[in-house]
Every structure is written in C-alpha cells, then in structure tokens.
Amino acid sequence: MKLTRRSWLNTIASVPLAATLGASLGVARRAGAAETIKVGILHSLSGTMAISETILKNVMLMQIADLNANGGLLGRQVEPIVVDPASNWPLFAEKARELISRDHVAAVFGCWTSVSRKSVLPVFEELNGLLFYPLEYEGEESSYDIFYGSSVPDNKAIPAVQYLMSKDGGSVQRFILEGTDYVYPRTSNKIIRAFLKSKGVADQDIMENYTPFGFSDWQTEVTAIKKFGSAGKKTAVISTVNGDANVPFYKELANQGVKAADIPVIAFSVGEEELAGVDTKPLVGHLAAWSYFESVNTPENKAFIAKWHAYNHDPKSVTNDPMESAYILFHMWVQAVQQAGTTDVDAVRQAMIGQTVKSPSGFEVTMGANHHMAKPVMIGEIQANGQFDIVYKSKALPPQAWSPYVEANKGKVADWSWPWVCGGCTEPRYSTF
C-alpha cells in the first residue's frame, strides 16, 4: 500500500522512528545500493537572471563534489541533475515537473525570483517534492513543500529601513521604493510602506516605481530619483531591482552624480557577484542589506571562501549571501537525510525541522517549524574594490512568514511540526487519522 503524506506522518507519530525508517531503508538497499541519489539544480543559466543564478549552480556542484569525495550520502554518490529554465517563469514549472516525475530527484535546490518560486510551488505541492529556496524574499507564504533559506521582510527589510531612519543610518525621512516589476518588490514594498506609515511617514514622502526585468534605459528613472531627493529632507532609495538591470542602474547613478552622501541607495538584491560587472569607485558608500557578506571575518567564512577559490581555481571569484543560504540548506538536507536514514520526502521533511548548521557568517542557524530560519541582518557599504564594509550587524532575528504589518495577516500561524498542518491558518489545524 502506498503511503500518503497523512498516513506516513501518522505512522511515524505512533511507531518508533528508527524501526519505521530502518524498514524503508532496507527496501531501498535491496533495490540497488549502487544507485545514485539524484538532486535537481534549478537555476537560470541564461537570460536576465543568469548574472545572479549561475553562481548558485556552481556552489551546489562544489558541495556535491565535496560530499561525494567524502563517501557520499547513505553510502551512495549524489548525482546533480542540472537544468536551465532560462529566466523563463513557466519553464521553471516545466523543468521542476521533469526533475520530480522523470528524473526522480530526492530534492531540488533552486529558483531566485519569487515569480519563479511561485511558478513551481504548485508542482511541488502536487507531486510531493521538496524545494530548497536560497533567496531572501517577500514572505507572505509558508509551504509544506518548501524550505526557505534566507530572510523575509520581518528580519531583513524592516530592520534595514529602521537603520536608515536611525541617526547612524542618516536619519532618512523620504523613501524611494525602486523595484523590478514582479511579486517580490511589489509585496515587499507593500509591507515597507505599511511599516513607514506606522512610523508616521506621510504618503507624499514615499515614491514608488517599477521597471521590467532586463531594463536598461535608466536616465528618466534616475532623474526622477534626483528630483524627489531635492525636497530638503534626507532621502534614500530602497532598491529591489533584480538581475542584470542592476548594471545599467548603477552606471546611470554614477553618470548623474547620485552620491551616497546625498541620496544613499540600499539594495536588497545586489551583492558581490552583481557588482563584479560595475565600476564601483563612483558607488562607494551606497549600501546593501543581507545576512552575509564576503567580508565577514570569521574562521568559518575564511574556510568557505578558500574552498570556493580552490573549486573555481580562481582567487578573485566572489562569494555572496545566496551562496551562503544554498550552503546552509544543502548541509541541513544532508543532515536530515542522515538522521532519517532515507531520502524519502516525507521522512526528510520532518527531519529538517530543528536541523542546525554553523553558517559561514559564524551564526548557528536552525530550521524552524515554519520552514524559515532566524538570520541576522547586516548593512554593508560598497567599497572601491567591489566588497562591502559592514557598518551594522544585528543578532539572529526570528522570521515571521506572515508580516505583522499587513492587517489581513492578524493571527496567522505557520507551523509544519507534527501534528500541525498549517502554513497560514488562524486556528490550530491538527493532522488526523
């Protein structure tokens, strides 16, 4: 009899875990111990998002190669199945379906934009797959089939805006919300606007603008930024511009002389990799907010960077926040598989909750019952060499999948621990026989 999600969870709740998983592991071994464990890598290697996502494919291959060199997983080698959804959001869903249904992968590591994640989400929920998503995003979601490896507005965007409003951040009073036109910037800015309103910021002190993916003609937008910032109040740009559009955006800021001392830009989607294609000397002092920077000075980060340089055979290759998140998620998945003794999706899903990894940034990071993890927020200033000088670092902040600044979220809970089955309910929902 095939176990459904519910029957499997009820079984492991009533039978000793070792006995249940030992039996399933025995079946797997009899089926062929030499078989590889397949994992999917679902990142854009072409199109507008390739500038950001290619590096995540590479860090996944590095980790898999390292794992295999050290004996593999459950006595088997791990085989990466790499696909290119080419920055095409419907193609993400098609490739995800192929990875689960045709290639029978144990897990998928991938997506960058929220529109790609939302494109594949129904596929993972339909086919009972596992997606490990390494990007900070807009929140307002908690799926049984997704583990979120980075920050949400509650533990990134909001603390970053609070920093801008503080004396250390320049006592900013006017805000330009500049984003790419899709769900992550629009939802994040909805939350940021609600937060600013709660702090007494008037609507006339908030400007909001969106441009398409791959946008390149920034002259009009940057002119509008300069005009809005000339009203006499300290002004900052909160940028959720994504992908290769950042290169001409920053070039136009430099062309029009928008300096950090006058109108600082704080980016939520620009890190070391995106700056590699930009002359950063005119951008010194502009900001980015992440939970990791390559410049973090910890023994764990030094080891991470050294391993990355050795893998690439390139001492100039950079690391960034999404890479750290991908590193954390992969190590958690490996630990969960080892704990469960099987790659069975339902068993690994339950074993994921509570997994702890020491991150390259030096924090002990634990997967929560809401499939999110507590992470710090760091504010970094762009330096002439393309790195960031960290000017602010918080403690690890607990994430809320549903923003408290959105009225409709009042009372919503995300808790996937047994026997809860709740991603956004307002009353307890328990799994039943």
Backbone angles phi, psi at 37, to 5 degrees: -95, 115
Please write down the long-range contacts of 50-55, taking CB distance under 8 Å and 24 or more positions apart. Answer: 50/87, 50/244, 51/243, 51/244, 51/247, 51/273, 51/274, 51/277, 52/112, 52/242, 52/243, 52/269, 52/273, 52/274, 52/322, 53/112, 55/273, 55/320, 55/322, 55/323
In a domain, 357, yes or no: yes
Percentage of the chain modeled with pLDDT above 70: 91
Task: Please give the residue range of the domain that contains residue 96.
Answer: 5-151+299-375
Q: What is the model's pTM?
A: 0.88
In a domain, 388, yes or no: no
The CATH number for 30's domain is 3.40.50.2300
In a domain, 352, yes or no: yes
CA 71 to chain centre: 29
pLDDT category at 431 given cuts 50, 70, 90 is low
* pLDDT per residue as tens digits for the range 109-153: 999 999 999 999 999 999 999 999 999 999 999 999 999 999 999
pLDDT category at 428 given cuts 50, 70, 90 is low
- Exposed, middle or buried, 162 (CB in 10 Å: 0-12/13-18/19+)? middle
Tokens read off for 374 = 């507590």
CA 219 – CA 181 distance, rounded (Å): 18
Query: Could you give the number of structural domains in the chain?
Result: 1
Q: Which amino acid is at 354?
A: G
* pLDDT per residue as tens digits for the range 16-43: 444 444 444 444 443 444 699 999 999 9
* pLDDT per residue as tens digits for the range 219-244: 999 999 999 999 999 999 999 999 99
* pLDDT per residue as tens digits for the range 297-323: 999 999 999 999 999 999 999 999 999
- The predicted model gives 426-431 an average pLDDT of 66
In a domain, 401, yes or no: no
* pLDDT per residue as tens digits for the range 353-376: 999 999 999 999 999 999 999 999
In a domain, 287, yes or no: no
Backbone angles phi, psi at 82, to 5 degrees: -95, 130
379-391: b (≥16 Cβ within 10 Å) or e: bbbbbeebbbebe
93-117: b (≥16 Cβ within 10 Å) or e: bebbbbbbeeeebbbbbbbbbbbbb
pLDDT category at 419 given cuts 50, 70, 90 is confident
In a domain, 158, yes or no: no
In a domain, 324, yes or no: yes
Q: Residue 415 gets which letter from DSSP?
A: E
Cis ω on the peptide bond leading into residue 404 (within 30° of 0)? no
In a domain, 369, yes or no: yes
